[in-house]
């Protein structure tokens, strides 16, 4: 604009920091400011228009997560209707009034759903001392850790939150996005700063934090279990490949030794058979297929499989009770509770037909190991979990299932009949993934799951 004035008036361009410096007379500035709304057809914000603005701001506050979002909506609403935008303090006061009224209504809805004694119990539990931490709140705010210790910690959090009956209240009055926003605020607060808060924000942040933490911890626990299972299968597959390569290297020397025994006239016929059997590879090194070798090695890894299954089966199991895999998990839970170390006869293994030979073997202790390894192989990949009837309750972070599909009580493992991508379909990580993500570690459920890095599918095992 200054360049336009320079060319029109044939004057040098002034070096100004504000357009107000162009005016030597204050009254001229005020006259021009009064002309500008008239030329642009902007109307003043009257009392009647302010009441209309407040109605729309209240409606927007039901969907907004922050006060700044409400302020920006009010300014945009005024500009689109060609009304003069008042000072920021006045707009912010209107937005704050609407936002406070909305929060007060949400607080009343929460108090109608959750009894006052339950809210007080939750508050006391958050600030109770925790071993290794100053309070339970800081323990719940901790990020998830890897490996089996991290899974046990997530399961401890789930059991703690279920003991408080956090899963019994769905907070239907609060949209999920608003629950997340309140939970994020609480997650960043120290206990001392939270005590200084007042209602309605204090109660809303507390209940949303507990609810969202329960949902997130549920998904993290399933993701960590999936990662541990996939890691176990990957290591087992590597061991089987090494064993097959080792056996292949011994084939030629073994054939030469067999030929030498067969052509040796000094060896009697009765001694020939034991001599040939002594040259043959061990039973656990020679299998008809690589998948059979993986199954054998998995049922030998009871010290890795059993603790993982014990931890997961402490969580509720929902679904069709007649489904073979659901019945197998229920039977395993019963065996663990009774501390039985041998698999009873008969035992159904229709959920994994390829494991029948190992499950039906005479050694019932080894049969129990096979019965434990079979469900883990069926759940080795998340896509395979959906096909065989197991899936996580609610993929919170990925949003692949909406809240209306979430079953009541939020079970950690739920029967699923939805279609999924075949595990044998080759998938690669996104090109923008970091090296750590390509290695398979991610604490939250993603579209590309850690299980996709395994070349052997769960169905083949």
The whole-number pLDDT of residue 63 equals 84
370 with 395: CB under 8 angstroms? no
Distance CA(247)–CA(155), nearest Å, equals 42
pLDDT at 435 over 60: no
Predicted confidence band of residue 18 (pLDDT cuts 50, 70, 90): low
Compute the average pLDDT of residues 448-458: 35
Distance CA(198)–CA(205), nearest Å, equals 11
Distance CA(93)–CA(246), nearest Å, equals 77
What one-character-per-residue DSSP string does 201-253 give? HHHHHHHHHHHHHHHHHHHHHHHHHHHHHHHHHHHHHHHHHHHHHHHHHTHHH
pLDDT at 382 over 60: no
Compute the average pLDDT of residues 322-337: 83
209 with 428: CB under 8 angstroms? no
pLDDT at 11 over 50: yes
pLDDT tens digits, 361-375:
888 888 888 888 887
Q: Provide the whole-model pTM.
A: 0.67
pLDDT at 76 over 90: yes
The whole-number pLDDT of residue 377 equals 66
Compute the average pLDDT of residues 317-331: 78
The whole-number pLDDT of residue 445 equals 39
Predicted confidence band of residue 199 (pLDDT cuts 50, 70, 90): confident
The whole-number pLDDT of residue 210 equals 92
pLDDT at 320 over 80: no
Could you tell me which residue, 86 or 318, shows the higher pLDDT? Answer: 86
Of 45-49, 88-92, 98-102, 293-297, the range with the lowest mean pLDDT is: 293-297
The whole-number pLDDT of residue 389 equals 33
Predicted confidence band of residue 115 (pLDDT cuts 50, 70, 90): very high
What's the gap between Cα 161 and its chain centre?
A: 17
What is the phi/psi pair of residue 391, to 5°? Answer: -155, 165
pLDDT at 2 over 70: yes
Mean pLDDT rounded to a whole number for the chain: 75
Structure token pair of residue 268:
């009697």
Rg (CA), the chain: 34
pLDDT at 438 over 80: no
Structure token pair of residue 101:
């009224």
pLDDT tens digits, 386-395:
333 333 343 3
């Amino acid at each position: 604009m200054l360049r336009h004035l320079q060319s029109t008036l044939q004057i040098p361009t002034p070096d100004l920091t504000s357009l107000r410096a162009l005016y030597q007379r204050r009254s001229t500035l005020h006259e021009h400011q009064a002309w500008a709304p008239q030329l642009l057809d902007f109307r003043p914000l009257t009392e009647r228009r302010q009441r209309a603005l407040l109605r729309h701001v209240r409606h927007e506050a039901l969907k907004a997560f922050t006060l700044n979002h409400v302020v920006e909506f009010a300014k945009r609403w005024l500009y689109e209707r060609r009304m003069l935008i008042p000072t920021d303090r006045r707009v912010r006061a209107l937005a704050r009034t609407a936002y406070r009224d909305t929060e007060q209504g949400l607080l009343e809805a929460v108090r109608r759903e959750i009894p006052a004694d339950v809210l007080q119990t939750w508050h006391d539990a958050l600030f109770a001392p925790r071993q290794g931490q100053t309070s339970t709140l800081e323990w719940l705010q901790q990020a998830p850790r890897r490996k089996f210790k991290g899974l046990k910690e997530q399961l401890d959090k789930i059991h703690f939150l279920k003991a408080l009956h956090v899963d019994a209240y769905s907070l239907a009055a609060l949209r999920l996005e608003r629950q997340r926003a309140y939970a994020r605020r609480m997650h960043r607060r120290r206990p001392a700063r939270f005590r200084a808060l007042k209602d309605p924000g204090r109660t809303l942040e507390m209940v949303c934090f507990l609810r969202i933490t329960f949902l997130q911890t549920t998904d993290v626990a399933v993701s960590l279990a999936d990662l541990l299972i996939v890691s176990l299968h990957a290591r087992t597959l590597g061991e089987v490949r090494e064993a097959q390569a080792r056996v292949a290297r011994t084939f030629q020397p073994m054939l030469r030794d067999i030929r030498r025994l067969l052509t040796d006239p000094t060896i009697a016929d009765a001694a020939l058979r034991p001599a040939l059997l002594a040259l043959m590879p061990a039973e656990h090194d020679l299998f008809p297929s690589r998948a059979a070798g993986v199954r054998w090695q998995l049922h030998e890894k009871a010290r890795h499989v059993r603790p993982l299954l014990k931890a997961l089966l402490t969580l509720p199991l929902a679904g069709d009770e007649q489904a073979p895999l659901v019945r197998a998990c229920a039977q395993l839970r019963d065996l663990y509770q009774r501390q039985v170390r041998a698999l009873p006869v008969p035992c159904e293994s229709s959920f994994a037909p390829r494991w029948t030979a190992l499950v039906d073997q005479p050694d019932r202790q080894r049969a129990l190991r096979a019965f434990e390894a079979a469900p883990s192989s069926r759940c080795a990949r998340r896509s395979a979990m959906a096909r065989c009837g197991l899936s996580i309750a609610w993929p919170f972070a990925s949003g692949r299932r909406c809240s209306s599909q979430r079953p009541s009580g939020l079970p950690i493992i739920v029967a699923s009949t939805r279609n999924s991508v075949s595990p044998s379909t080759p998938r690669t990580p996104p090109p923008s993934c970091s090296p750590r993500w390509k290695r398979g570690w991610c604490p939250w459920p993603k579209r590309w799951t850690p299980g996709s890095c395994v070349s052997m599918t769960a169905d083949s095992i």
